[in-house]
A and B are shown apart, each in its own frame.
Chain A
Amino acid sequence: MIYFDNAATTYPKAPPVEEAMRRALYEYGGNAGRGGHRMSMRTAEAVYHCRERAAALFGLPDPARVVFTANCTMSLNIALKSLVRCGRVIVSDMEHNSMMRPLFAASGRYPAFSVAHVGRTAGETVENFRRLITRDTVAIACLHASNVFGNVLPIAALGKLARERGLIFLVDAAQTAGILPIDMQAMHIDLLCAPGHKGLGGPTGTGLLLCGERYTPSSLLEGGSGSESLLPHMPDELPERLECGTLNTVGICGLSAALAYTAESDLATLYREEIARCGRLYDGLKRLPQATLYTPRPAAGETVPLLSFNLAGKTAEETAALLDREGVAVRAGLHCAPAAHRHMGTLPHGTVRLSSSRYTTAEEWRKVLQIIYKIS
């Protein structure tokens, strides 16, 4: 199989993940942060080590402000449902449902959200956000890169705007964590939501919510936290305030190995190579009369390595099914991001999305183009 569905979840995972998870089942079998026996403490050490690695990778000074979640969507739910209690949130018009649905769910009770148009230039986009700031705005929240069209939003500039206006800045790094450099301090990011299982190469069932010093979300779920049990509410301090119940320690150990592997990788070179290959695929599709592309040619710094396209006379789902028969795994349809398709005019059928990872080979990139020509 040629796997081009890495924007949904990466396959294969980072090489050390399998062994780390296998070891975790035997060596870290205790419940972290609950008991005082040696295996529980050893497990808690492994969990804390993962917090340290995540904090280091994303420029967060305090590892205790790294919260483990089940996925990026859960991270976004925690952050957004806390923020909207304080006021209005401004989002972009290309957001995933993991951003839009929590806001929509809250919109009956709170002012909820305004939507800024992603412009053709970074300056235009920032200006569109700036124009929507009102007295009741509390936060700017946006994706770092579109999961459908790959375009990167100017998060450093948006972070600067948020800081200047005293707003909280939330970034959905679903498509960029482990692919593009993210420094929470330099980019003025207060809340960073990331999946463990995409660009970082960790296992499914792992997600991260990194909280800067300026904002501590309230709990979304409540339950056992292993400490301060006499309190009727969750502990005030992070991460326990936002982590109730037993942690996914096996997944966290896998994520920890993936984070270490990512930190040791030359991400800049890997990214440039992937974008160059994505560009060559784009050129190949551009020469195919039946293919429709929706974005400018992929360019480093402006896009992540994914492409959306359609073939004339076929729906996106039909094209994906034909590719599957040829051994190519892609995602078709709306990619849980109707807002992005509305922005690009690709409703109601959506697009076919090809998304690579650092493990996609040059041969696979060449072959997928040949197969698209064959089925077109």
Chain B
Amino acid sequence: MNKTKSTALAVGSVTNAMRGRALLSQNGIVAEVGRARPDERTGCGYMLTVTGDADRAARLLNAAGIRVRSAP
């Protein structure tokens, strides 16, 4: 796993994104909140740009009830 690679995880609302960022930070993962490209099914929303282990980040988010709409 490339520790410096950036991956975008779409998470729906801006609240989810900020909650997710706090959760990932507690687990040592750096993430930034930004606007996501619109999803074909649900429409617009927000994403977390994760630096490092995006698989682990997605697992942490899903476990906390933050549904990752598009995984790496």
Contact = CB atoms under 8 A, between A and B. Distances in A.
Contacts of B67: 237
A51 interface: yes
A247 to B, nearest CB: 11
Interface in A38-70: 41, 44-45, 48, 51, 62-64
A217 interface: no
B52 interface: no
A181 interface: no
B13 A63 contact: no
Contact of B16 (A64, A229, A231): A64
A229 B46 CA distance: 12
Given A226-B14, A235-B12, A64 B19 contact: yes
A207 B15 CA distance: 18
Interface string B1-37: 0000000000011111011000000000000011100
B42 A48 contact: no
Majority SS at the chain A contact face: loop
A36 B34 contact: yes
A44 B43 contact: no
A152 to B, nearest CB: 33
A230 B13 contact: no
Contact of B46 (A62, A63, A64, A227): A227
A230 B41 contact: yes
Contact of B42 (A35, A63, A231): A231
B19 A226 contact: no
A271 to B, nearest CB: 31
A19 interface: no
Interface in A150-205: none
A228 interface: yes
Interface string B34-66: 110011011111100000000000000000010
Contacts of A238: 15
Contacts of A235: 12-13
A33 B43 contact: no
B14 A32 contact: yes
A35 B35 contact: yes
A227 B33 CA distance: 14
Contacts of A229: 38, 42-44
Given A36-B35, A237-B12, A228 B18 contact: no
B45 A63 contact: no
A350 interface: no
B19 to A, nearest CB: 5
Given A227-B46, A229-B43, A230-B43, A62 B13 contact: no
Contact of B18 (A45, A227, A231, A237): A45
Contacts of B35: 35-36
Contacts of A51: 15
15 contacts: A33-B15, A41-B14, A41-B33, A44-B33, A62-B65, A63-B19, A225-B13, A226-B14, A227-B46, A228-B42, A228-B43, A229-B44, A230-B41, A235-B12, A238-B15
Given A44-B33, A230-B39, A237-B15, 18 more contacts: A33-B13, A36-B46, A48-B18, A62-B65, A63-B19, A64-B15, A225-B13, A226-B13, A226-B14, A227-B12, A227-B44, A228-B44, A228-B45, A229-B43, A229-B44, A230-B41, A230-B43, A237-B12
Interface of B: 12-16, 18-19, 33-35, 38-39, 41-46, 65, 67
Top 7 A-B pairs, shortest CB-CB distance: A36-B35, A230-B43, A229-B43, A227-B45, A33-B14, A227-B13, A228-B42
